[in-house]
Amino acid sequence: MTEPVSEGSDAASIVDVPEPPRPASSIGRSSALLASGTLVSRVLGLVSIIVLSVAIGVNSSAGDTFALANQLPNNIYSLVAGGLLSAVIVPQIVKASLHDDGGAGFINKLLTIGLVAVFVVTVIATACAPLLVALYGSGFSDANIALATALAYWCLPQIMFYGLYSLLGETLNARGVFGPFAWAPLLNNVVAIGGLVTFITIFGGEMEHRDPSQWTIAEVALLAGSATLGIAVQAFSLFLFLRRAGIRYRPDFRWKGVGLANTGRAASWVFGIFLVSQISGVVEVSVSSSASGGGDASVNAMKIGWLMFMLPHSIVTVSIVTAYFTRMSTHVRDGRLDELRNDISSAIRSILLVMIFAAVGLSVLALPFSAVFGNKYSEIVSLSTVYLGFLTGLVPFTVFFVLLRVYYALDKTRWAFFIQAIQTSVYVGLALLVGAFAPKEWTAVGLTLCLSTAVTVQAVLSAIVLRRHLGHL
């Protein structure tokens, strides 16, 4: 439990006391606001992918190289900060709202320590760009490694801005202000599309045929720099909404006495979850990159397929669960486990009602949907098979996503860690078998089926363990 901050304390005097979290008008209204923002952002994201495909291709060396470099900040951020920011902030701020200052001191200290942490990580990761590229791109040629390293130097600063976006966004969510977190990515996509259009205008759209060793500094800077600029704009835009949530942030480097130790304990297990999951990421890129350069689906095809897979998930599942998460955390704080069970049941039923139909419908439309991103028929076919492989895991992935937030709300992150370890073991074992025995043209598809199998195991285990703790769900 966190300790209340008295009215005369330093933390309380730093900022005005924020108003208590405003009650959500309804889950439906909050979810609709989140879903609409996510939908617009995802549509623009798809446009960005299409323009990127025109610029550097899909199953090309350039496409795979940029996919690896631009994915690095996501991987590193998820590893060192994603768990703390996305899984711990909401429950801890909900608990801290009972403090005498309404949680002002806790929020100030949490935001400050979070920003310092992601800044340090960003500096270290950027300095280690060659090592990270070598680790994730073990199947690449020397020329691709060199290009990926150059791109990574421009992409890795995104870690800082991802961290800032999540810190501010999850704080707003905990205060019941959901819209900005969902709508801010729209700005990112607008900037990214503008950068790609500029890239094509200046350098043309034939980069997929270029030897990686022939890329210039200007080409690298424009392609990767515009991607990083988009993330920065997305993050800084959230500062405009802090006052609306009753937050007047002031940096506070006095990190003792507000209950951050409990936050750290919860975050340590979530850090372990993301650390274990990165093993899957390294194995996946290593296995899939072995098919790069031969015209077969590889790293970039899997990235595009995953983004296509995440479209219905982010619009429906994430929007509904984000609205439920704050309420679940409040029910846990107040000891109302009966209401928590109702939330779990209601969330899963509402989401699956849509996602089952989405899985079937998108499976039928996999080929025409993939045609939006492919420049050649062979690319379209290979991308559609990768997409179909991902779709086999859409329903279990949805169920697991809901249950994982329940573990976070209950502060049972240790349980979630061991379940993640089992999932990773299943996936890595199957992925290595695919890498050893599957033909290159089926490597990416095989990896998607491995992931679907592992996520299904994870969802079933999560439900079994949670049911033993809460009773019927």
pLDDT value at position 295? Answer: 52
| Residues in the chain, pLDDT under 50 | 1-25
The two most distant CA atoms of the chain are separated, in Å, by 69
Residue 177, CA atoms < 13 Å, CB-side half-sphere = 21
Alpha-carbon distances, residue 419 vs 267, 334, 360, 426, 428 (angstroms): 16, 27, 28, 11, 14
d(CA 96, CA 24) in angstroms, rounded, equals 18
| Confidence at residue 453, expressed as pLDDT on a 0 to 100 scale | 97
Distance CA 151, CA 132 (A): 12
At 210 the pLDDT is: 65
- Determine the pLDDT at residue 347: 93
Q: What is the DSSP string of 335-364?
A: T-HHHHHHHHHHHHHHHHHHHHHHHHHHHH
User: For residue 347, what are the CA distances in angstroms to 128, 214, 343?
Assistant: 42, 51, 6
Instruction: From 312, 453, 298, select the one nearest 383 (Cα to Cα).
Output: 298
Q: Indicate whether this model's pTM tops 0.85.
A: no
> What pLDDT is stored for residue 6 in this prediction?
34
**In the chain, what are the domain boundaries?**
33-467
CA-nearest of 432, 470, 472, 437 to 454 is: 432
Determine the pLDDT at residue 119.
93
Residue whose pair of structure tokens reads 């969330």 in the numeric block: 347
- What Å distances lie between residue 364 and 148, 197, 274, 382, 391, CA to CA? 35, 32, 33, 15, 11
Residue 3's pLDDT is 36
Alpha helix (H) residue ranges in 237-313: 260-289, 299-312
Encode 423-441: b = buried (16+ Cβ within 10 Å), e = exposed: bbebbbebbeebbeebebe
**Residue 78: which of 178, 154, 158 has the closest Cα?**
158
pLDDT at 22: 45
What is the Cα–Cα distance from 440 to 445, expressed in whole angstroms?
Answer: 10
Q: What is the pLDDT of residues 342-392, one digit of tens each?
A: 999 999 999 999 999 999 999 999 999 888 776 678 778 888 999 999 999
pLDDT score recorded for residue 82: 61
Residue 438 corresponds to which tokens in the numbers above? 């599957």
